[in-house]
Chains A and B, each alone.
Chain A
Amino acid sequence: MKRFSLAAALLLLGLLSGCAQVYVPVSQSHPVGTTPAGTSTQPPPPRPVPAPPPVVEEPGGPRIEPSASAPVSGNSAVVNLLEEAWRLNRAREYDRSNAVAERAMRIDHAEPEVYLVMASNYVAMMQLQLAEQLVRQGLPLAGRRPGVKSELETLLAQIKARR
């Protein structure tokens, strides 16, 4: 009975904490500036890099667990390159934008915004199949970037609607 009460209390507390999640607006994933790569800029504050997933020796073998989610790229070089890629996207220089996004991908291929900007470029170039594949690649990586995830989902819906 004591155990049941504890579980019920915890359940209630959990439901309340679930409601209190912080909403991250979609626009946060958008470029925050137009500083080109290679120029002097103030680096963004470092983002937390999650610890690697634990591997615990157990009688049944080491415990292999998934990482909580894709690490958020705290790399100012990646941020800088993505800003440049978005700037080129807005300037309708899609091929150059993709080339810059690929540079970001080389530094951190798990950064979901790389796939978002490339997919956006391909959508603009009406290469919808390539765009869809990029969205699908970005989505599983966007766990910790609700803004990027939401934009990827919106883009996917747009692609499907256009096809």
Chain B
Amino acid sequence: MVSKRRKKKKPGGRKTPSRWRWLWRLLAVSLVLGALVLLVLDAVVYQKFSGKKWSLPSHVYSRALELYQGQAVSREQLQWELDSLGYRRVPAAKEPGQYSVASSRIELFSRGFEFWDGTEPAHLMRVSFNGNQVSALTDSRGGELALARLEPMVIGGIYPAHKEDRELVQLAQLPPYLADGLVAVEDQGFYQHHGLSFRGVARAMVANIKQGRFSQGGSTLTQQLVKNFYLNQRRTLSRKVQEALMAVLLELHFSKGEILETYINEVYLGQAGDRAVHGFGLASRHYFQRPLEDLELHQVALLIGLVKGASYYNPWRQPERALQRRNLVLKLMAEQGVVDAAQAQRASRNPLGVVPAQNGKVGRWQYPAFLDMVKRRLREHYDESDLQTEGLRIFTHFDPQVQRQLEARVASRIANLESGYHIDSGKLQGAAVIVRVGSGEVVAMAGDRQGGYAGFNRALDARRQIGSTVKPAVYLAALERPARYTLASLIDDAPISVDGADGDVWEPRNFGRESHGPVPLYQALGQSYNQAAARLGLELGVDKVVDALHRLGYEGSLPALPSLLLGAVSMSPAEVAQFYHTIAANGFYTPLRAIDSVFTSANTPLKRYPFQGEQRFDPRAMHLLHYAMQVVLREGTGKSAYRRLPESLVLAGKTGTTNDQRDSWFAGFSGNYLSVVWLGRDDNGKMPLTGGTGALQLWTDIMATLDNRSMVFNQPDGVSYHWVEPATGLLSREGCEGVRYLPFIDGSEPQRQSACRPAPFDGVIDWFKGKFGWQ
């Protein structure tokens, strides 16, 4: 029996301990695995949260508008600037970011800003206008202010591949009610729970059972943050478990304040084109064009409402839905004691208050041509990844007021030329660059006839033959040799032919197919005679012209061929602007600058792009060239400009037309602005336009909108003026027929007198006339 019993029990006796053993083993392994998973999750939670949380795009800023007495800014322009910066128009400005308007003045409370050269404090100021000028600038006590600066505006950014954009804010920067309102609406037990809210889960389960579908998750703010920050958007049981574990771990390591601040910067709140708007900081600018700290209660409530579904409650596409959601948020805030009922009532009577849809451009390419130039310059000093992720703050010289005018003029003039010259609609294209003379700062750029077009940037990339726009370099090379050439030197504008190495014969002709015989040098440039320019360049040697072009700032290769003398060289408008700027700056080369300075995301100054100049030409030769380029505009191929510009404004420039009129150029400058304009067809087709009838017209439009000052045309040491008979190049006297008062580098003036001789002592009398202003 015993043995039988033993036999029966033996298998069972072996099975029972083995089963338990396996269960225990399984439990032990599970515990170990669970602990490992927890360790891994803990490491993930801790590392990502304590390190750099986000890839921050770099943001590009415009210039800061300076305000001072005499500044050419109209009331409307200042108002536009303030609106673009998100200032709020109120009956009386009392806080930073507000302004009020009266008939001829604006009172504004500027926001402070940290610039490279120091902090600009917030000011309450009054700006009075007289026409299009600031007539007075006073502080809140009526004392005169010499100068004040507004903050620059964000004009674009450089974004990482995932296209997430955000502007980081700290808890201390938040407007009243935001943090409490967010907690009241999204997670009322936030300050009590440890990452999970069982009450919230139970409430969600009841709601889900009642509705018969999974409609509520019962997630805490911490869980929502974990989901957005660490996990994907899938709704599976394992992901929910992971989310819960990580939420608890997060709460173990970090304070409620740190978690809330991260949530406020992480949450998705909308879309700007292909860029996702994350965080309340950027959302504030996106919907209201103002900093987060300036928001009012109803605006804060709208942003809190968008947390539930930024697309579903989009205030532009679904304004009614967004309004209902905002008012619900206000009601919840009142119920939770964040605001009192009267405040909520008042706030709910406000409209949504979002900026017009087209203004919600944060992160979009508003000014693609200029930003393109900025990015190219930045890539010379920074890695692309740093630009996309380090949140650099890039300050530029871009002037949005000038750009606005430029885009409007380009669009209207091109349309006007198309209809006036029967060019197929849409065929004519254009590009323009505007540079501040002296400092070499690029203030505006058009890369297409349509402002805001982000495709081919003609201002930088359309390399087209420049035609007669090259001629100032030819004449400058000649005028640098005063022993051989002066403005009075006679150049034969007769047909010329040059045998090429390949057997071809180069025979340039004038635009009008006429020859003019011997013409003084200033007139040859003023009237843009091709035969004279070609003869002069050949006499000089093409290599001298190549050298002049390189010293003027052109960095590309140049063919040392005769055709170069008439502009058979391709350049972009920006390259032409570079070499004309050296002329405008009296022979001082300054690399064109788009960027002023770069700051880190923590607002630490990183790099400045300072002004630097290098003298490359004798100022005496430059003075002579400036004279001849004024002749272009006073009496030559560019004279139509003065039909719309004031006679008193001293300007200099040059037209350019290429073979078969495929390209129309004008480059010219006043005392403070250089503008270069190109018009043509993308397919390089023929046009009925010359430099004078095409580009010059647009150039004039542009210059008419700018606050121009006369170019500086000082007589340098070593230059003297003499009366000369242009037809012979002989010295003459004032009052003789057809004589011209021309500048000469000392010692190069004509020695021979014309038949019209000066009377004895006339020179002395002239000297006294000049000295005492006698007539």
Contact = CB atoms under 8 A, between A and B. Distances in A.
B761 A7 contact: yes
Given A38-B149, A61-B631, A67 B123 contact: no
A154 interface: no
Interface string B353-384: 00000000000000000000000000000000
B611 A43 contact: no
A151 B121 CA distance: 34
Given A43-B69, A52-B650, A96 B588 contact: no
B635 interface: yes
Interface residues of A, number: 59
Interface of A: 3-4, 6-7, 10-11, 14, 17, 35-43, 52-53, 55, 59-67, 69-70, 75-77, 79-81, 88, 95-96, 98-100, 102-103, 105-107, 109-110, 118, 130, 133-134, 136-137, 140-141, 143
Contacts of B741: 63-65
Per DSSP, are chain A's interface residues mostly helix, strand or loop, or mixed?
A: helix
B636 to A, nearest CB: 9
B69 A77 contact: yes
A106 to B, nearest CB: 6
Interface string B416-452: 0000000000000000000011110100000000000
Given A41-B144, A53-B710, A60-B738, A107 B619 contact: no
B600 interface: no
Interface string B128-165: 00000000000101011111110000000000000000
Nearest to A59: B738
Contacts of B123: 38
Contacts of B612: 130, 133
Contact of B147 (A69, A81, A88, A133): A81
Nearest to A83: B146
Nearest to B636: A61
A42 B436 contact: no
B631 A140 contact: no
A41 to B, nearest CB: 5
Interface residues of B, number: 70
Interface of B: 66, 68-71, 115-118, 120-121, 123, 139, 141, 143-149, 436-439, 441, 586, 588, 597, 608, 610-615, 619, 623, 627, 630-631, 634-635, 647-650, 671-672, 710, 712-716, 721, 726, 737-741, 743, 760-761, 764-765, 767-768, 771
A77 B713 contact: no
B588 A133 contact: yes
Contacts of A41: 144-146
A17 B767 CA distance: 13
B765 A75 contact: no
B613 A134 contact: yes
A31 B120 CA distance: 21
Contact of A140 (B116, B117, B714): B714
Contacts of A10: 764-765, 768
Given A38-B145, A141-B712, A77 B68 contact: yes
Contacts of A141: 712, 714
Nearest to B443: A106
B147 A80 contact: yes
Contacts of A99: 115-117, 597, 608, 610
Contacts of B635: 61-62
Contact of B764 (A7, A55, A62): A7
